[in-house]
């Protein structure tokens, strides 16, 4: 089973069709949870903060942008599987990419160098091109959501070009 932190008081037990089993992380936009589909597969589910869900401009843009994000090539990013509303808070569900984050790898092994760094850079650049080709611009490209497998994890808001 993938590693996750325990759920906290007030965390949802389910988001849509997915049973929430733990916390993966938390950021400025919301909390990313580890979830499990009825089929038994793991997913990453991001529940946005209530303040964002109360903003009609954000909420409307989020739903439009998810449709665009679903067109991104599957080999480049964690595929968006589902989305919805939990009360007045939007959420999105993507496939769970197993493996340590780039931040964890650098913390334990040191910075990437040589061909390992080149593979990571090429994988990240390829994913950003795929996002751009699908009509989205990633507004929050940071190291932690990038997995050490060179497959960026898609947990951030997008905007149309």
Give me the active site residues, please.
140
Q: 150: closest CA among 122, 129, 114, 111? A: 122
Per-residue buried b or exposed e for 15-27, using 16+ beta carbons within 10 Å of the residue's own CB: bbebbbbbbbbee
**Rounded CA separation 137/157 (Å):** 9
Which residue range(s) make up the domain with 108? 14-160
101 domain residue, yes or no: yes
87 domain residue, yes or no: yes
67 domain residue, yes or no: yes
| pTM, 2 dp | 0.78
9 domain residue, yes or no: no
Domain count for the chain: 1
**Rounded CA separation 72/149 (Å):** 18
Q: Over 90: is that where the pLDDT of 136 sits?
A: no
Task: Give the pLDDT confidence score for residue 68 in this predicted structure.
Answer: 80
* pLDDT tens profile 88-135: 899 999 999 988 888 888 999 999 999 999 998 998 888 888 888 887
51 versus 69: which is more confidently predicted? 51
3 domain residue, yes or no: no
138 versus 6: which is more confidently predicted? 6
């Amino acid at each position: 089973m993938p590693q996750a932190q325990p759920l906290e008081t007030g965390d949802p037990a389910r988001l849509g069709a997915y049973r929430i089993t733990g916390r993966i992380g938390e950021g400025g936009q919301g909390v990313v949870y580890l979830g499990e589909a009825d089929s038994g597969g793991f997913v990453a589910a991001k529940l946005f903060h209530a303040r964002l869900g109360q903003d009609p401009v954000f909420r409307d843009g989020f739903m439009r942008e998810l449709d665009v994000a679903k067109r991104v090539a599957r080999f480049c990013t964690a595929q968006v599987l589902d989305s919805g509303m939990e009360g007045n808070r939007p959420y999105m569900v993507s496939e769970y990419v197993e493996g340590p984050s780039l931040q964890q790898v650098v913390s334990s092994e040191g910075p990437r160098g040589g061909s390992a760094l080149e593979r990571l850079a090429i994988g990240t650049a390829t994913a950003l091109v795929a996002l751009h080709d699908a009509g989205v611009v990633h507004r929050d490209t940071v190291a932690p959501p990038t997995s050490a497998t060179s497959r960026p994890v898609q947990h951030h808001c997008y905007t149309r070009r």
